[in-house]
Amino acid sequence: MKKNNMIAIMLIAGGVFFSSCNNNKAGFSSGSVSLKNAKDSASYALGIMQGKRFKDNGADTLFNLEVLQSAMLSALKGDSVKMSDMQMQMMINSYIEKEQNKKFEANAKAGEKFLADNKSKSGVKTTASGLQYEVIKEGTGVKPVATDTVEVHYTGTLTNGKKFDSSYDHGKAVKFPLNGVIPAWTEGLQLMTEGSKYKLYVPSSLGYGMQPPPQSGIEPNSVLIFEVELLKVYKGKK
Beta strand pairing status for 132-137 and 124-126? antiparallel
* Secondary structure (3-state) at 157: strand
With both helix axes pointing from N to C terminus, report the angle between 3-25 and 38-56 in degrees, rounded to the nearest 10. 130
* 232 membership: H or E segment, kind and range: strand 224-234
- What is the rounded CA–CA span in Å between residue 233 and residue 238? 11
154, 227 contact by CB (below 8 A): yes
- What is the rounded CA–CA span in Å between residue 56 and residue 177? 33
* 115 membership: H or E segment, kind and range: helix 85-119
* Secondary structure (3-state) at 21: helix
* Active-site residue set: 154, 164-165, 182, 208, 226
Please give the span between the terminal C-alpha atoms of the chain, in angstroms, as a whole number: 32
- What is the rounded CA–CA span in Å between residue 69 and residue 200? 46
